Chains A and B, each alone.
Chain A
Amino acid sequence: MSAQQQLKLEGVYKSYNGASILQDVNFQVNNGDIYTLIGKNGVGKSTLLQLIVGLNTPDKGEIQLNGHAIITESSDWKKNIGVALSTENLIETLTIEEYLTLLGGIYGLEKSVTKSRTKSLISYFYEDNEKIAKPIKDYSSGMKKKALLCAALVHNPAILLLDEPFTFLDPASCSRLCDFLVQQKELGKIILLSSHDLLYIDKISTRIGVLDSTKLILDDVYENFKQENDFFKDNKMLKKILNYNSKDLSLLEEL
């Protein structure tokens, strides 16, 4: 494992049109950790990732890497991060191979390196029978998601920022992605992801954060969290904090 690295958020605030999205968010992710953010829809998980990536700026607070505030516009930071946020960011008129070739050029990789990485990423994430030699716009949602993940990994970044990476993927691909992330964790990468997929969160997470009502209400080692909140047995705390039981089927009586 490489030397100690640390991504830290200190007192981060963000609001849109006067409405608070995030308030006083503090947590840190060390290398060799897979930090998973969970929370209800619209609670600010994606916004938080956008702030770290640099697609948005916090109203207050600081994001640091190894104790230094990061400049999200800097080329160094951009080369350091592998980002998979939204499939809208793909250039849909290109095939996956063309897109990765383009990214290789942007990241300044040698042509041969781009070629070999493209080949290995595609053969790892895509099935042999998946038709990839067509524009991305004609891919299924799952294939697009894989393209987004490949794009985030082609330059072998030290920090992975993934927004709901398991969404749209079939179980085999999810499992493969889990194996890949665990391997990356062991290589000493900083991995931060948001997800709703409890099965895979349970499989790979080393730390967990729960976002609710604009705040990070829980930030703990996953094993500790799991002792009180086994997703698949008694998840009292999770039910309470995520308000699982606030609605029942009687609301749908008109149906």
Chain B
Amino acid sequence: MNPIIYIFKKRSQQFFDKENNPERILILLNMFGFYYIPKLLSSVFEYSDGPASPYLLYIINNLILFTPLLSLFLPTFEAKKNILPSYLPMPKRSLFLLDCIAAIGKRASLSIIAMTAGFFIYFHFADKWVYVSISLTGIIALMMTDAITNVLSWQKAKWWAAIIIAAALNLLPKWTGADLSISLYLKLVSAFILGVTLWYSYSIHPASPRGSKTIIQRSHISAWSILLKEITRSGLAKTSITIIFALKIFVLFAMPYFGESYLAGSQLPVVSLLFYSPIFLFASIFNNSFGYFRNLFVNIWLYDNRTSQYIKFFASLLFPLLLADITISMLFLLWFKLLTWPNVIIYFSSALYLIIVAGITSCLLPKKIEQRSLSGIKKGSSSWSSMISMIPLLIVTGFHLRQICPTLVACLGIAFVAIPVLIKKYGAGWQTRVIQAVK
């Protein structure tokens, strides 16, 4: 059998494997969520069979283009590892093809496809070229996601410029007021640039060694240094957290000056609310590559499984990041005169909810640890936590803003009931499982 077909067949089997259940459920949840967004928008715009307004196209374009960012995928960039080692006699194009096939089955790619399909189904335009434009945006978004992963995995920073130019070409028509044909032309150029970037940023060689690593002196081993060493060592984690904060600042503080300003005392639009809440920060903490769970586990082991120590280290990791997030969010409220009790309650109730989710999932974690290796935590462990953490996102997407405060409070209430139940059920076996895994 052709090796590519063989691998494709085996990877498909792996996708439907029982062990991949959490990841598959998460993918389906994501796809449903992103398919649903166009439906919500179509009801907001009450749009049907009319001419395509540039503003509407701009919104559609941006939503599809930045789906990976909106969908909590940004922090889940996983460094690429070649499916087959490059010393096998396979041309680059075959390895590249294999990699592209594997990328289709990922959350980000499938969500982009779901959202693009959603716009096709829920929006009805008279001009057929609008559909071509939407499809091209979907393809560009897929290529951009993969190109960014390549650049991060193989540290080919010189390709950032091409990615930024390609993204800018998609955003340009809104500012220049260009018509659909110019927009299509720019999209084609953008797709070409991304195609070249994708090909040249793809490396058949293993990832090159990273920069100098943080060296932890024996005398300085403390909770803080151990807990945060993964963040300081991992380029991906650093990039992830920097982008999360940069994006949050940009969306909250800069976007109103490009579009419509917030009205003093008004309720927040859904997208702003998402960025205002700590959900993106937690999504990055829940990610495997961040090393959060691994660190937590190692620390539980190192510090004798005491509950007080566990809480201390848990808080040590969360506190500095959460403090930075709270500062940005509260400054935003103050700056735009939005400091009202409901807005403050929304932030802190969702933060509390996510802390509880982190607590629950880390208590469940030892079950997921492979016996042979401390670092070999199965993929499912972060998928479960991501899945639970997505509930507020789905609620925000699914319900109108006016119901968001009571629904978040309800979430919190459910979480408070769930945590004693789960700990009672799993907590007893937790310490013994940790000890067994370490042995």
Contact = CB atoms under 8 A, between A and B. Distances in A.
Contacts of A89: 85
Interface in B64-92: 81, 83-91
B10 A55 contact: no
B89 A78 contact: yes
Interface in A26-80: 53-56, 75, 78-79
Contact of A94 (B10, B206, B211): B10
Interface in B2-32: 2-3, 6-7, 10-11, 14
Contacts of A79: 89
Contacts of A78: 87-89
A105 B83 contact: no
A16 B7 contact: no
B313 to A, nearest CB: 25
B209 A16 contact: yes
A90 to B, nearest CB: 9
Nearest to A82: B87
Interface in A11-25: 16-17
A243 interface: no
Contacts of B89: 75, 78-79, 106-108
A54 B87 contact: yes
B1 interface: yes
Contacts of A54: 86-87
Interface string B189-230: 000000000000000011001011000000000000000000
A217 interface: no
Interface range, A side = 20 to 34
Interface string B329-341: 0000000000000
Nearest to B372: A141
Contacts of B88: 78, 103, 106-107
Nearest to B11: A93
A141 to B, nearest CB: 8
Contacts of B11: 93
Contacts of B209: 16-17
Given A78-B89, A93-B14, A55 B6 contact: no
A80 to B, nearest CB: 9
Contacts of B206: 55
Contacts of B91: 75
Contacts of A94: 10
Contacts of B83: 91
A101 B206 CA distance: 24
Contacts of B90: 106
Nearest to A78: B89
Contacts of A101: 1, 6
Contact of B2 (A53, A81, A98, A105): A105
A237 interface: no
A160 interface: no
Contacts of A182: none
Given A17-B212, A93-B14, A94-B10, A55 B2 contact: no
A143 interface: no
Given A17-B211, A55-B205, A105-B2, A93 B87 contact: no
8 contacts: A53-B87, A55-B85, A55-B87, A83-B85, A83-B87, A91-B84, A98-B10, A102-B7
Given A17-B209, A93-B11, A106-B89, 8 more contacts: A53-B87, A54-B87, A75-B89, A83-B85, A89-B85, A91-B10, A93-B10, A106-B84
Report, nearest first, the 8 A-B pairs whose CB atoms are least far apart.
Answer: A78-B89, A89-B85, A105-B3, A75-B89, A53-B87, A16-B209, A106-B3, A83-B87
